[in-house]
Amino acid sequence: MKVAGTVAAGTAVATTSATAQGAAQFTNIKALAFDFYGTVLDVFSATAPACEQLFPGKGNQLAQIWRTKQLIYILMRNSMGRHREFSRVTEDALVCAANTLQLQLTEQKRKQLVEVFFLGQSTYPDVKSGLEALKKQGTKLIVLANGEQKTMEEGAKRVNVFDLFDRFISVEEVKVYKVNPRVYNHGADQLNITNAELGFVAAHSWDIMGAASAGLPTFWIQRTPTEVQEELGFKATATVKGMPDIAPLLRG
């Protein structure tokens, strides 16, 4: 881990809008790392309709509980020191969600829904244009995410954004999930840059908090105006409404 300009725990970095942000503070950024599921891919775009098709009247509720359990399980496994591949955690979360709603989840339905989660999702509307603008500027773009490398790469290929990324880095390389600092440190180490030189982009405030705690400059995509940042002692370096708002911040 190469840490430069690390933010001390409990120190808040002022959140600013894209329009008010100057490019000067981002001149040291040499690459951008992106969360994948929930930032690049809309995790409800395919799962919610698929859940509704298999369980009429319960689909949206099932999809919501499934996603919540998935996030809870990765945090629990981090705390327990019991790592398990993201695909298997996702499957476990689905089983629990179905049990919560007393739904009969057959093996066929389980496999179908897990496949839809990983290979059926679409990107958010702002993603491709935002990535293309950054790529045009010559910014090095990587994925740093909870997920398995081959599965993320296949998902990216299916929505035509694979070629916009220079590399896909999986938490499986360190056997621990975000928000453990080892993940963010590993991303910088793999690029042979300092943490302060690796910008991090996510639509999840909790992920932004983890990256900020590890000393990365952060870009929070606030896609929902009513969404607020987590209260964990840090703030996003920049808050934007969509991915296309990031490229202007890096122009120097």
- What residues are annotated to the active site? 35
> Could you tell me the CA-to-CA distances from 178 to 164, 183, 228 in Å, in that order?
23, 6, 20
Q: Residue length, the chain?
A: 252
Q: How many CA atoms lie within 13 A of 232 on its CB side?
A: 16
User: What are the structure tokens assigned to 93, written together?
Assistant: 């979360």
User: What are the structure tokens assigned to 195, written together?
Assistant: 């943490």
